[in-house]
């Protein structure tokens, strides 16, 4: 497993983390910048989730506070983990309705770009939608499937997670909106995902998603769109293992992005 240069902070016996003043300011600056950026771009369920779980610009959220609200809303919790975890740990936690979150926050030098998921990405990007029952149910059932298969199949399942939970778009009555946490925590990709004429946007097809390559260090070249969250949940009720086998037989689509050494557009 790849090593991270970041180290998660160790919570005390009550689950609280002691953040420095500078780290609190970084959260404030990230929050203020992004909360304005996502207006009329994030889906309404996400915006409502921010209030439901009590996020604000004033301080880095403490996991016990978030957990108290999530437990009442959907039965989920957030679990403190090291900066990077393996598939086995990830699926075990999520199957137990515990969303893994590293407790470090990015440095000011990496406000716009880091590959490791920090607490801003995990809590601001993902946790608001964990207050939505159908989204939370998708996460739980997805993890149960992932826990039951081998590593190679988990790698394929990760593609579905990437193109939905991390970088998914949703069609609403107000127009195309964002629900993927990887976009919602990214200042640059929030605008790019909806407004750029460069990426391809198409309806979510699970087989198609399994065959679509991606890179983690650039703005995405393909975004999959769901019509609603019920459709996202129902996507798990197709025969995912059969679709994975079919995807393997058909092979991957040709990448719509350049090789890594030729690209200089970094994902925020």
Residue 166 lies in a domain: yes
Tell me the residue ranges of DSSP E strands in 91-190.
98-102, 169-172, 175-178
Give residue 2's pLDDT band: very low, low, confident or very high (50, 70, 90). low
Query: Which residues form the domain of 159?
Result: 21-262
Q: What is the maximal distance between C-alpha atoms in the chain? A: 53
Residue 4 lies in a domain: no
Residue 7 lies in a domain: no
> 151 a known binding residue?
no
The domain that holds 225 is classified in CATH as: 1.10.800.10
Mean pLDDT for the chain overall: 94
> 195 a known binding residue?
no
Best CA proximity match to 181, nearest among 135, 237, 238: 135
pTM: 0.94
pLDDT of 230 reads 98
> 166 a known binding residue?
yes
Residue 3 lies in a domain: no
| CA 33 – CA 28 distance, rounded (Å) | 8
Count: domains in the chain: 1
How are beta strands 169-172 and 175-178 bridged, if at all? antiparallel
Residue 85 lies in a domain: yes
Phi-psi group of 82: left, alpha or beta (phi > 0 → left; psi -120 to 50 → alpha; rest → beta): beta
Residue 8 lies in a domain: no
Residue 190 lies in a domain: yes
Residue 214 lies in a domain: yes
Q: pLDDT tens-digit profile of 114-155?
A: 888 999 999 999 999 999 999 999 999 999 999 999 999 999
Residue 162 carries which DSSP code?
I
pLDDT of 82 reads 87
Looking at the predicted structure, is the pLDDT value of residue 259 above 90? no
């Amino acid at each position: 497993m790849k090593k991270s240069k970041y180290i998660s902070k160790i919570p005390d016996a009550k689950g609280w983390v002691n953040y420095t003043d500078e780290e609190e300011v970084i959260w404030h600056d990230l929050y203020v910048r992004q909360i304005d950026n996502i207006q009329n771009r994030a889906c309404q369920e996400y915006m409502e989730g921010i209030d439901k779980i009590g996020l604000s610009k004033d301080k880095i959220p403490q996991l016990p506070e978030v957990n108290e609200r999530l437990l009442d809303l959907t039965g989920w919790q957030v679990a403190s983990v090291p900066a990077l975890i393996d598939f086995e740990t990830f699926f075990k936690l999520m199957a137990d309705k515990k969303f893994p979150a590293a407790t470090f926050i990015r440095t000011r030098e990496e406000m716009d770009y880091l590959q490791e998921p920090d607490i801003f990405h995990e809590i601001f990007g993902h946790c608001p939608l964990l207050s939505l029952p159908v989204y939370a149910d998708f996460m739980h059932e997805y993890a149960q499937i992932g826990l039951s298969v081998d590593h190679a199949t988990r790698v394929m399942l990760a593609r579905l997670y990437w193109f939905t939970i991390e970088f998914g778009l949703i069609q609403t009555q107000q127009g195309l909106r964002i629900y993927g946490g990887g976009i919602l925590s990214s200042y640059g990709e929030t605008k790019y995902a909806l407004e750029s004429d460069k990426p391809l946007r198409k309806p979510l097809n699970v087989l198609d998603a399994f065959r679509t390559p991606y890179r983690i260090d650039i703005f995405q070249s393909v975004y999959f769109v769901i019509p609603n969250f019920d459709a996202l949940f129902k996507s798990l009720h197709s025969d995912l293992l059969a679709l994975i086998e079919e995807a393997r037989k058909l092979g991957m689509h040709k990448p719509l992005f350049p090789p890594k050494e030729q690209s200089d557009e970094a994902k925020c």
